[in-house]
Each structure stands twice: as structure tokens, then as C-alpha cells.
Chain A
Amino acid sequence: MKAFTIKAPAMGTEQFVRYGATVGDFNPVHYDLNFAKQLKLPAVISQGPLTFTLALDAAIAENGLDAIAGFKARITAPVFPDTALTITGDADGKVTASNGETTVLDGQLTAR
């Protein structure tokens, strides 16, 4: 696998809604600020699979889809709107996504 560092595009509430519509995830915590505040969150949060998809997309951009057979990741922190994540990958296929000092995803690619 290629080592890389990529700044992923920031996803806002509009992207959360569009992603939710694509995959059928209509949990209001992704678009309803009042609902999110009831859960003691400061803002709506990204879908975990969207964060996962951004990290996978960065790996595909660097390695090509044909080189990858799978991706497994832990979601370690919420992602709030308009956060541009930094995605890093190493030669062993380890992938992390971070927001500044906070790691939000810790993953591992499977090579084909």
C-alpha cells in the first residue's frame, strides 16, 4: 500500500442529509440540531459510515480500487459539520482520520 496524507473535503449538514438519503439513514442526530442538543451534543454529527467512506475514498484515491479488498475501522469520536478531516495511510494499510489532535477513525485496509 502507498503511504499518503490527504485532506478530505469537509462535509456539512447538507452532505449529511444527502448521504443519509443515499443509504437510508434518517437518524435526526445527523440533521436536527435540537435533537442533537437533547443528546448533549453541541451540533449534529456525521454518520459513522460517511466518515468511514471518506477514509476509504482517500485510500482508493492513492491505491486504486483494484488494490483493495476491504476496509475495517473503529469510529473513535464524533465528526461535526464542516470538519475537514486529515486522512493518513501507511505502507501496511493502516488508515487514520483525524480532526487536529483528535483521531476520529482508526482503520485497516485489506489488500487484494
Chain B
Amino acid sequence: MIPELKGKVLKTHKTRAYAAYMKDLEATLGTPSAAETARVALFFGVTIARDFDVLEKMGMVLNETLMGGHEITWTRPFEPDEEVEVTVTLADVQDRGKNRIAVIESRFQTPGGEEIQRQYSTFVHLGGAGRGKTAEAAA
């Protein structure tokens, strides 16, 4: 059951790299470099649609789930207000002991298909081994 989930697209979403959000993040960080940082760390792919639907689709319970790691690579910073298409995929999922480990890939592209950024976010569902939904249920 678990291998069937790997590679499955969990969500696609169209948005913009809103300049206003860049300003918000810059203000939150409050450092001299924050404006530059906000152009690459503007999004968290898992919550791109402003919910935890991606985790819930896999049967991961939010208050039992920890973030274990995060990675972003970019070809360039986001341009303010540019259109972005996001594809969120379950890159890997496996059970280790009592826990379920999921790696979620988020790809950020222009409408023309230029890749701007890729993220890998690792989550640990404590006690989640053997739980969750089938690939069909996650569709």
C-alpha cells in the first residue's frame, strides 16, 4: 500500500509571488538581508493552498506530526507578483518503527514551464506507521 503512494501528485495550485507577502516576510524577519531572503523563502509548498490538506490526504494527523527537515533549491529568486504554478508530490513515504516518514516535493514553475524552485519537506507522523489512506483515497 505504501509504495503505491510514492510519486503521487497531491495538489496543484496557481498563485503569485505576491510583492505584499514579500514585504510581510521582510518585516517579520526584520534584518538588512530580509528583502533578498523573502525572494527565495516566500513559500512553504505544503501549505501553498493555505491548509494542511496535503498531509491530511495521506492520513497524517497534524497534531501528531513533526517537521523533520526542509530543503529548497532555486534557479533564481521569485520576481515580485509573478505567476507561479505549484505541483506538490509525495516523493517518498516509509514506516520506520512506529512512525511514518513522508517527504513532500513542491515544484514551483512559471506558466511557461520554467522551474524556479523546488522544495523537499520531511514530516514525521508519530505513531503513524501502518496508518493512513490508500492511493485511491488520497486522489
B interface residue count range (under 10 / 10 to 19 / 20 to 34 / 35 or more) = 35 or more
Contact A23 B44 (CB under 8 A): yes
**Are A54 and B52 CB-contacts (below 8 A) given A21-B24, A65-B36?**
no
A23, B73: Cα distance in complex, Å: 17
Q: Min CB distance, B122 to chain A, in Å?
A: 8
Name the interface residues of A42-92: CB closer than 8 Å to any CB of B: 47-49, 52-54, 56-58, 60-61, 64-65, 69-75
Distance in Å: Cβ of A29 to nearest Cβ of chain B: 7
Out of B24, B48, B68, B72, name the residue touching A70 (CB < 8 Å).
B72
Q: Which of B31, B47, B62, B120 meets A24, CB within 8 Å? A: B47
| A39-B63 in contact (CB<8A) | yes
Main secondary structure of the interface of B (DSSP, over half): mixed
Q: How far is the CA of A49 from the CA of B72 in the complex (A)?
A: 10
* Chain B residues whose C-beta falls within 8 Å of the C-beta of A57 in the assembled complex: 29, 31, 33-34, 37, 41
Asked if A15 and B68 sit within 8 Å, CB to CB, the answer is no
Q: Are A25 and B44 in contact (CB under 8 A)?
A: yes
Residue contact A53 to B36, C-beta cutoff 8 Å: no
Residues of A within 8 A of B28 (CB): 11, 15, 18-19, 22
Q: Given contacts A54-B29, A57-B29, A60-B37, is CB(A23)–CB(B70) below 8 Å?
A: no
